[in-house]
Amino acid sequence: MEQSSLQPRIERLLTQVEKPSRYIGGETNETVKPDATVRVAFAYPDAYEVGISNQALQILYGLVNDRTEAAAERVYCPWPDMADAMRRDNVPLFTLETWRPVRDVDLFGITLQAELTYSNVLELIDLAQIPVRSADRTDADPIILAGGPSASNPMPLAHFVDAFFMGEAEEGMQQIIAILDEVKTREERLDRLNELPFLYLPARGEQPVERAIFADFSIDTAPTKPVVPYASAIFSRASVEVMRGCTRGCRFCHAGTWYRPVRERKVEDVVTAGLAQLECTGYDELSLTSLATSDYSGVSRAIREIKEVKPDLHLSLPSNRVDTGPVALAAAANTRQRSITMAPEAATQRMRDIICKTITDEMIENAIDSAFAAGYTSLKLYFMIGLPLETFAEVQGIVDLGFKAREIGRKHYGEGGKFTVHVSASNFVPKPHTPFQWSGMAPPDQLRVKQDYLRRALKGRQLKLSLHDVRTSMLEGALGRGDSITGDVLEAAWRAGARFDAWSEHHREEFWRDAFAAAGRDLEVEATRERDPLDPLPWDHVRSGVSKEFLLDEWWQSRAERPTGDCRWDGCSDCGACVGPVRNRLVEA
């Protein structure tokens, strides 16, 4: 079906839905390649304003359009009002660039950033009028490829996805495009894709699959002209990824395992790329992104050189370590920067040792003091509750640290000063490929008791508290460590009406409870159960680069309340991530 035949039908729908700007395309810096022989649709399984801000999709979009002969277009999950209207009028899911049906592309790529978007993955496939289960697809259907961090446990989506990309896609995506250009039938394409070591094809069996690592992490693949949204987005700013990977070793952190080792970009490349993005987007804010930007060894120099060119620029450092953050905060501070986020994760030394968060009370207080001294007036502190081996003392510690932060703020701004300490406490959810993958979540009743206590205790002027919904945290835990039967649960819940589960107004707990019960399982049992370290795990065939033996040793170390040092300065911990050319690489070691 050509664009001309869909356009009037789409235009009629746009008059009937909330925020039609989500679906019109035509944004600044979008790319249209009408003569491409291979067509790709990249999808983010959430609303436009969330997906347009995703840096990974911006990287892939630019990579395919700028470095291959293929054409990449974009699609985001239609909001329920639009989805219902599309089904009613038989309008298939379409790309933003050309309003052509997604089902007509060669490759339909879906990023998996979070488990609570899984119902939207099925929603996207069905709206595209593609059979939901891969076994039912024919040569008329595109190859459905899923990647991103949550693909590290592919089993809950194995019934629905043709191939999973494990790891970093900068180099491997070009190999996939080449195969699609050379081979045209579905089965031949799947056979060729199955030869790539970083792809897992469920229909071809659970053979080992290796995580792809972009070893040199060159700036060449960074987006030079990111798409600028017309509609509102959760982040409206230019962004440059300064570093990938982390070796801090926090035992709850999936990204800390999945993206090892550390690879930093040269400061001059970061500065050039950042200034170029500002020039072609019109943004007045630049974000230097990574898992922990204040750990980037060139952060002070990069900030200084950027501010020499644009002294009034709003520089954002979204991830700041408590121990390295003060230096970066002082360098980045300016009159427009008001809010800063820090993540102690745990408020007592005992719990920080258990989770391998190697910071002290003194470091935390010094970082808070530095933030207020630098002129920040909104301090956000992130913690978790329900961590393994947690006692009530850890919950009380969050309260005590919140009041301590307010005390430090009043030292700088006075008791009536205009500043805020915002305490956020999320619920611990164990993730695959981490030392806590064998741990279960705390029971929901326990989490609610702890949340109620925090609500009662953290009251007062200049203090705010935010908590995560226990129901959605339980669902995240049940899906994240699920297996192929979890996929049957997912399909049943989606067919009952589950979608946009991360949005509280759309989450329907009863759909999921009924679906788990129909499969002979219980949602809370799946989320809270501990796993025997001797039993196989559903994701064992996915090799992250970090050995299972290392993860198990870290699990035991947590029970002994012993932290492990960071290999960047404490020596190699023999995790297995550094092999051949894949090594920690710092620009200013």
Strand partners, 423: 381, 465
Q: What is the 3-state secondary structure (H, E, C) of 466-490?
A: EECCHHHHHHHHHHHCCCHHHHHHH
Separation of alpha carbons 159 and 507, rounded Å? 23
Nearest to 160, CA basis, from 171, 146, 170: 146
Q: How many other CB atoms are there within 10 angstroms of residue 101's CB atom?
A: 21
Task: Determine contact, residues 116/469, Cβ cutoff 8 Å.
Answer: no
185: amino acid identity, one letter: T
Task: Quote the pLDDT of residue 13.
Answer: 96
CA-based diameter of the chain, in Å? 70
Taken in order of first residue, the domains within the chain and their CATH numbers are 3-205 (3.40.50.280)
Distances (CA, A) of 418 to 376, 469, 534: 10, 29, 54
Task: Quote the pLDDT of residue 3.
Answer: 45
Task: Determine contact, residues 458/86, Cβ cutoff 8 Å.
Answer: no
Q: How many other CB atoms are there within 10 angstroms of residue 95's CB atom?
A: 24
Q: What is the 3-state secondary structure (H, E, C) of 272-315?
A: HHHHHHHHHHCCCEEEEECCCHHHCCCHHHHHHHHHHHCCCCEE
Distances (CA, A) of 541 to 198, 290, 418, 440, 529: 11, 28, 53, 21, 21
Task: Quote the pLDDT of residue 589.
Answer: 55
Task: Quote the pLDDT of residue 579.
Answer: 86
Separation of alpha carbons 490 and 488, rounded Å? 5
- Judging by DSSP bridges, how do beta strands 199-200 and 163-165 pair with one another? antiparallel
- Model's pTM, two decimal places? 0.95
Enclosing H/E stretch for 327: helix 325-332
Backbone angles phi, psi at 465, to 5 degrees: -130, 135
Task: Quote the pLDDT of residue 302.
Answer: 93
332: amino acid identity, one letter: A
Task: Quote the pLDDT of residue 335.
Answer: 45
Separation of alpha carbons 432 and 452, rounded Å? 29
Separation of alpha carbons 406 and 420, rounded Å? 8
Helical axes 361-373 vs 325-332, angle rounded to 10°: 0
Note the helical H segments in 383-443: 392-413
Long-range contacts of 33-37 (CB under 8 A, 24+ apart): 33/65, 33/70, 33/71, 34/71, 34/98, 36/69, 36/70, 36/71, 37/69, 37/70, 37/181
Strand order in the sheet with 463-467: 339-345, 378-385, 420-427, 463-467
Task: Determine contact, residues 131/141, Cβ cutoff 8 Å.
Answer: yes
DSSP code of residue 101 = B
Separation of alpha carbons 248 and 434, rounded Å? 13
Which of left, alpha, beta for 27 (phi over 0: left; psi -120 to 50: alpha)? beta
340: amino acid identity, one letter: I
CA 204 from centroid of its chain's CA atoms? 28
Task: Quote the pLDDT of residue 337.
Answer: 62
**Exposure string for 341-354, b = 16+ CB within 10 A, e = fewer:** bbbbbbbbeebbbb
Strand partners, 425: 383, 467
Task: Quote the pLDDT of residue 2.
Answer: 41
pLDDT tens digits for the chain (589 residues)? 344 478 999 999 999 999 999 999 999 999 999 999 999 999 999 999 999 999 999 999 999 999 999 999 999 999 999 999 999 999 999 999 999 999 999 999 999 999 999 999 999 999 999 999 999 999 999 999 999 999 999 999 999 999 999 999 999 999 999 999 999 999 999 999 999 999 999 999 888 999 999 998 999 988 889 999 887 777 788 899 999 999 999 999 999 999 999 999 999 999 999 999 999 988 888 999 999 888 899 998 999 999 999 988 888 887 778 887 665 665 665 546 678 888 999 999 999 999 999 999 999 999 999 889 988 899 999 999 999 999 999 999 999 999 999 999 999 999 989 999 999 999 999 999 999 999 999 999 999 999 999 999 999 899 999 999 999 999 999 999 999 999 999 999 999 999 999 999 999 999 999 999 999 999 999 999 999 999 999 999 999 999 999 999 999 999 999 999 999 889 999 999 998 888 899 987 5
